[in-house]
Structure 1
């Protein structure tokens, strides 16, 4: 089961599902008002259409994995055959569709994902890339990816991406992904606890970890989310670290392999 090795109690589907829908709706309103999706985004080789196609393809895969787990084997085999080019190939295929067709496919897929993940038992596992996941993890994962790729599109269009309380789900995944970060970097996973203190969009403080932890991260929730999704380098954020392991974590932080 893919749980990043940490407690997922702070990642709650009942809270995250409406926020996933809202995140998609906000991005939808932005791109639906744009007639030209050919503008290059910060992802090299990807236009706005590629970004939306990637989100649509991922949503379709979630629906297959939840509704027909046996059929997901074919998705895994195709991804394995494509190697590291799978996401690019999927995005390119979708981007080649007429804008109106892609937009409607993405909308339908978002609705199907919300329904599928909302109906299944919280801890019922289903297959995903690399391991098995649950709705408890997948809902915020979809929100995180929608927000991150949405950030690319907002940046491309020169529109401010207003931070909201929905970032708490992304930040929670970032915290949960600490061990994943060290694993991906092929570094020993620190045994001692970490304290993460982030300032939310409304000035509230979001906290994870014991108060007496020696390894500590502080800063804005927005910058933490931009860092763990690789939308900003560490130097571009206001994040601070205390402790050698915390310093290293900020250098290698991620929420996906």
Structure 2
């Protein structure tokens, strides 16, 4: 990325939008159950706060972050949930303040980082721009859980281009993490952005297998915030079709995803 500042700005705007959604919630609303199993709204914000602080540690104290990774390796199935659980028990005002302070500090650290620098993470090392892109994806996805819980329909923005890009780039990971053979050829992906302007396109124009649809629906799919059956994303080709069943934009084991709306009962 030649100029990382736009993604830093987009991350800040995405966080501020979510902040406005939760800032005036009552203590009872903070405890509402979200679509993520066993997670309340407080858990969702606590997780974002915890991960922002992990990213800040990676950027400012790589040795300290490696110690954190060692703890994660010792409890791979519970480490993330434990971080969310700890923060979720804070009073809402304190949790909100902690999230705000952490993301502000991370924003400052990312903007001040050398463009050539690579920082340790739970997967491959990441640049400041990649770190911000990953944080934006998570902020948007967990914000979707909160919006769904509150019955709020958010207006999608072209900030989703960052989420879509991660989703496309994570294609091979989604196959590999399930022990499936990775397709040997690229797919063509064509997405209609929320603005309705030029398509977002990825992969060769003449690729025999392709995925098309609204960018919002694709982002909901790859973050596993909606079931494929409820989205207007379409595939051409057997491997592309399989991908839409397993796509994930996040690191870690395969997620459980969301059931089709017809199965909600």
TM-score with structure 1 setting the length: 0.93
- The match for 1:13 is 4
Of 170, 180, 183, 1:187 maps to 180
Q: Is the 8 A contact 1:13 1:140 kept in 2?
A: no
Helix, strand or coil for the counterpart of 1:132? Answer: coil
Confirm or deny that 1:61 pairs with 2:61.
no
Confirm or deny that 1:45 pairs with 2:38.
yes
How much has 1:12 moved relative to structure 2? Answer: 6.3
- 2:33, 2:64 → 1: CA distance? 34
1:86-125 → structure 2 map (5 Å cutoff):
86-125=79-118
- 1:61, 1:228 → 2: CA distance? 23
How much has 1:181 moved relative to structure 2? Answer: 1.1
Greater alpha carbon shift after TM alignment, 213-222 vs 182-191: 182-191
Q: Is the 8 A contact 1:16 1:139 kept in 2?
A: yes
- 1:245, 1:123 → 2: CA distance? 35
Q: Is the 8 A contact 2:167 2:248 kept in 1?
A: yes
Alignment root-mean-square deviation, CA: 1.3
Of 232, 238, 241, 1:238 maps to 232
Confirm or deny that 1:35 pairs with 2:7.
no
Residues 172-220 of structure 1: CA distance to partner in whole angstroms, max 9, x if unpaired?
Answer: 1111111111111211211212110011112122111121111100001
Residues 142-193 of structure 1: CA distance to partner in whole angstroms, max 9, x if unpaired?
Answer: 0000000000000111111110010011001111111111111211211212
Residues 53-98 of structure 1: CA distance to partner in whole angstroms, max 9, x if unpaired?
Answer: 0000000001111101011122112222222111111111001111
Q: Is the 8 A contact 1:123 1:136 kept in 2?
A: no
Of 142, 145, 153, 2:138 maps to 145
- 1:81, 1:190 → 2: CA distance? 33
Q: 1:12 to 1:176 in 2, by over 3 A?
A: farther
Helix, strand or coil for the counterpart of 2:77? Answer: helix
- The match for 1:215 is 209
* Alignment size in residue pairs: 248
TM-score with structure 2 setting the length: 0.90
Q: Gaps spanning 5+ residues in structure 2: where? A: 253-265
Q: Gaps spanning 5+ residues in structure 1: where? A: 1-8
